[in-house]
Amino acid sequence: MPSDKIAPFPKTRLRRIRQSAATRALTREHSLSVSDLIWPVFICEGDNIEQPVASMPGVVRRSVDKVVEAAKEAAGLGIPAICLFP
């Protein structure tokens, strides 16, 4: 086989992916940890209310004053964010 048909190993190794922390994070091996989670919190109108959601066992709708307690509980478990749903 003629040597002009074989692609030579590049003399320059392009490492564009390694230039910034953001692109390194996008292309690295993925692992899931508690710090990657977002806790969904369902809210309702009123004061001092926690009512169960019938279609989702273990999930409750909370009044706005109870959302602060949920956020503190999430932070205590290492979950860095909550997402509010009406």
| Amino acid, single-letter form, for residue 8 | P
0.75 exceeded by the pTM?
A: no
Q: List all residues 6 or more positions away from 40 whose beta carbon is below 8 Å from its beta carbon.
A: 59, 82, 83, 85
Q: Work out the average pLDDT over 4-20.
A: 70
Where does the chain have alpha helices with state H? 21-27, 64-76
Chain mean pLDDT for the chain: 86
- In 3D space, the residue among 77, 85, 84 whose CA is nearest the CA of residue 37 turns out to be 77
Mean per-residue pLDDT for 7-18? Answer: 69
What integer pLDDT is reported at residue 9 of this predicted model?
67
Residue 68 or 4, more confident = 68
Per residue in 33-57, pLDDT (tens digit) is 898 899 999 999 999 999 999 999 9
pLDDT at 35: 86
Helix boundaries (H) for 39-80:
64-76
- pLDDT at res. 24: 77
Percent over 90 (pLDDT), the chain? 59
